[in-house]
Amino acid sequence: MILHEGAFKVVERGQGGDLPYKIRYMGIFLVIETRSGLVVSWDRKTSVFLGLHQHYKGRVCGLCGNFDGNALNDFTTRSQAVVSDALEFGNSWKFSPSCPDALVPKDPCTTNPYRKAWAQKQCSIIHSATFATCHSQVDSTKYYEACMHDACACDTGGDCECFCTAVAAYARACHEAGVCVSWRTPDVCPLFCDYYNPHGECEWHYQPCGAPCLRTCRNPSAHCLFDMPGLEGECSVQDPLPGQSSHFEVSLLPEVGC
Task: Tell me the CB-side half-sphere exposure of residue 222, using CA atoms within 13 A.
Answer: 10
pLDDT band at 250 (very low <50, low <70, confident <90, very high): very low
pLDDT band at 9 (very low <50, low <70, confident <90, very high): confident
Is residue 175 within a helix (H) or strand (E), and if so which, with residue range? helix 159-176
Strand partners, 113: none
| Mean pLDDT, rounded, of the chain | 82
147 and 163 in contact (C-beta within 8 Å)?
yes
238 and 248 in contact (C-beta within 8 Å)?
no
What are 111-116's contacts with CB under 8 Å, separation 24+? 111/152, 112/152, 112/153, 112/155, 115/151, 115/152, 115/155, 115/159, 116/148, 116/152
pLDDT of residue 88: 95
Q: What is the mean pLDDT of residues 123-142?
A: 97
Residues across the chain: 258
Q: Please report, for the chain, how many H helices and E strands are present, in that order.
A: 6, 8
Round to whole Å and give the CA distance between 246 and 202: 19
- pLDDT tens digit string along 66-85? 999 898 999 999 999 999 99
Is residue 119 within a helix (H) or strand (E), and if so which, with residue range? helix 116-123
143 and 103 in contact (C-beta within 8 Å)?
no
Higher pLDDT, 239 or 115: 115
pLDDT of residue 218: 62
pLDDT of residue 237: 58
pLDDT of residue 212: 66
Round to whole Å and give the CA distance between 143 and 238: 35
- DSSP conformation class of 250: P
pLDDT of residue 214: 63
Strand partners, 242: none
- pLDDT tens digit string along 162-203? 999 999 999 999 998 999 999 999 899 988 776 666 777 766
Count the Cβ atoms, other than its own, within 10 Å of residue 143. Answer: 22
For residue 254, give every residue at least 6 positions away whose Cβ sits within 8 Å of its Cβ, in sequence order, or none.
none
Task: Tell me the CB-side half-sphere exposure of residue 180, using CA atoms within 13 A.
Answer: 10
2 and 8 in contact (C-beta within 8 Å)?
yes
Count the Cβ atoms, other than its own, within 10 Å of residue 87. Answer: 13
Q: What is the pTM of this model?
A: 0.77
Residue 18 pLDDT > 90: no
- pLDDT tens digit string along 208-241? 887 666 666 666 766 666 666 667 766 665 544 4
Is residue 49 within a helix (H) or strand (E), and if so which, with residue range? strand 48-52
Question: DSSP labels for 31-74?
Answer: EEEETTSEEEEE-SSS-EEEEE-GGGTTS--STT---SS-GGG-
Domain boundaries along the sequence of the chain: 2-92, 108-176
